[in-house]
Chain A
Amino acid sequence: MPLRIGIVGVGYSGFDSMTPSLSTRELMFEAATRAYEDAGVDPRKDVQSFICCTEDFWEGISITDEYMPDQLGAVLKPLCTISSDGIVGLATACMHIMSGIADVAVVESHSKISDVVNPDEISSFALDPIYDHHVNADPRFVAGLEMARYLKETATKREYCAQVAVKNKKNALLNPRGVHGADLDKKAVLNSKIAASPLTELESSKTIDGSMVFVLASAQKAKKLGNHTVWINGIGWSSDTPWLEDRDMARAAYAEQSAARAYKMAGVRNPATYFDLAEVDDTYSYKELQSLEALKLAAKGKAGKMVESGAFDRDGRLPVNASGGSLGVGHLLEATGLHRVLEAVLQLRGQAGRLQIQRAKKAVVQSWRGIPTATGAVAVLGN
């Protein structure tokens, strides 16, 4: 039986390179206030569980959980923080609702990357301290390694990766949240500075600030709340081995596993023709191609050619990252997955403005936790 948990409210704040006028907590309060208004709930009375997705090192404070309740209306209520992407937070909320602990649950995640002076130090610190940390380079070298192996194994043309950046940055020009939107051609992308070969700077997403708050409800409760519920019909998450030396660098095996679980739950048999839109990981250009293949939205090694042909354009057969994705909008650390679910929810509600895809009914969203992880999550949504 498909999962049926309703997304009854969404709210967000930030979406800028810097948000110097607000503290992290004030940024969260803004997003939460909008989400509760959207859902028509009072967090002090109607919500039984709160979940935050944050990382202590990004916050610069240990045991971050303790600083979350006030600005979410969660004081003296059940609250937990999980250090993973926001879609895993949604899965946790689904479980709280399915278990009967809550019939309304709230999920929050944010990025306040502008508060971090040396983010590379934190990314590097995620590498294995004994085996891998001796490489004294921008941690994007891991992306370079994956990309080189992906290109080799799938015989994908180098320029197809550049086309991902061209497409997503262009889409973002229509998105009010699109901080990194741009009208570029492949040549400009390929000729931008090399970050870690073969990856260039314009193929690397840039971090931005923002907070996302979601209100989830049981099917029964969702019917009483709001009138534009979007349903989570399937959800899955998975982690590969951490060994950079041993894991398959060419594929996103974690995304294959997550998708398989989410599809099974939602009853999706032919993913390539099932969905009206997809929001998939594009932290780096090649990641979109890897993700599309892992999600079976493109055959093995064919994603690049399909991007080149326009099949994944906003007006293509399956719009992929019509929002602009992480390359066009910006990367939001642990909140990246929630941002992409937000974009899909607005589409399925018919509230995506100039980005709107006509008759959008079914969406798939996938996230990756970033370098050096091999962890990801997938959600199947419907209206």
Chain B
Amino acid sequence: MILSQKITSYPGHEITPEDVKEGKYLDVVYKFEPKYSWAAGVAISRFLAELKEGRIIARKCMNCERILVPPRMYCEQCFRPTDEWVQIKDTGTINTYSISHVGTDARRLKTPILVAVVDLDGATPGMGILHNLGEVEPSEIKVGMKVKAVWKSSSERQGAITDIRYFRPIGEE
């Protein structure tokens, strides 16, 4: 409402919590429920299939010689198809991390979530996986820490990124 010479104050009164309780305040509620079933594509399908087997796979671009993970069928730097599959290790180094104390519903978490980007051994430095850390005190986490994947058992693995439970520290080699 824009005030004018004729309208000098806002009409009505402010909504109080009582108004809401008594149903005097009108609203329209709708739960939007879109559903998707994404085609993962050539690269990510193979990546997921390999996770199910307890392995991590990458793609190599022969032009820039980078080993890309997560794998993709094209190199975004060279803009050309990538050339071959490369198995890489399930060990790596913490590139960066954050300890999240707030859940998706904005509540404080009793147990914080330990999020990290792990540069994987065998991939081009600076390439890796976004995952959780475990078996570690939050205060002990450091950038540069060596970690290794902790996998679900083969019968539990479904071909999903969560087939890796988390990464745990393995100490300096």
Contact = CB atoms under 8 A, between A and B. Distances in A.
A307 to B, nearest CB: 37
Nearest to A32: B79
Interface stretch (B41-49, B100-108, B124-132): B41-49
A43 B28 CA distance: 47
B39 interface: yes
A42 B35 contact: no
Given A42-B79, A121-B33, A71 B39 contact: no
Nearest to A25: B41
Contacts of A44: 77-79
A115 B74 contact: no
A311 to B, nearest CB: 42
Nearest to B73: A26
B72 interface: yes
Contact of B36 (A25, A60, A133): A60
A118 B34 CA distance: 6
A115 B40 CA distance: 10
Nearest to A73: B79
A63 B32 CA distance: 18
A2 interface: no
B39 A21 contact: yes
Given A43-B79, A70-B72, A57 B40 contact: no
Given A22-B41, A26-B41, A117 B36 contact: yes
A129 interface: yes
A20 interface: yes
Interface in B54-82: 72-74, 76-79, 81
Interface residues of B, number: 23
B10 interface: no
A122 B79 contact: no
Contact of B38 (A29, A60, A69, A73): A60
B42 to A, nearest CB: 6
Contacts of B40: 23
Nearest to B42: A26
Given A57-B34, A60-B34, A114 B76 contact: no
B76 A70 contact: yes
Given A21-B41, A23-B39, A44-B78, 15 more contacts: A23-B40, A24-B38, A26-B41, A26-B43, A29-B73, A29-B74, A70-B74, A73-B76, A115-B36, A115-B38, A115-B39, A116-B36, A117-B34, A118-B34, A129-B28
A19 interface: yes
A121 B72 contact: no
Nearest to B79: A73
Interface in A2-56: 19-26, 29, 33, 36, 42-44
Contacts of B30: 129, 133
A130 B27 CA distance: 9
Interface string B4-47: 00000000000000000000000010101111111111111000
Contacts of B44: 23
A137 interface: no
A75 interface: yes
Nearest to A118: B35
B37 A115 contact: yes
A118 B79 CA distance: 34
Interface in A126-148: 129-130, 133
B133 to A, nearest CB: 25
Nearest to B32: A125
A15 to B, nearest CB: 16
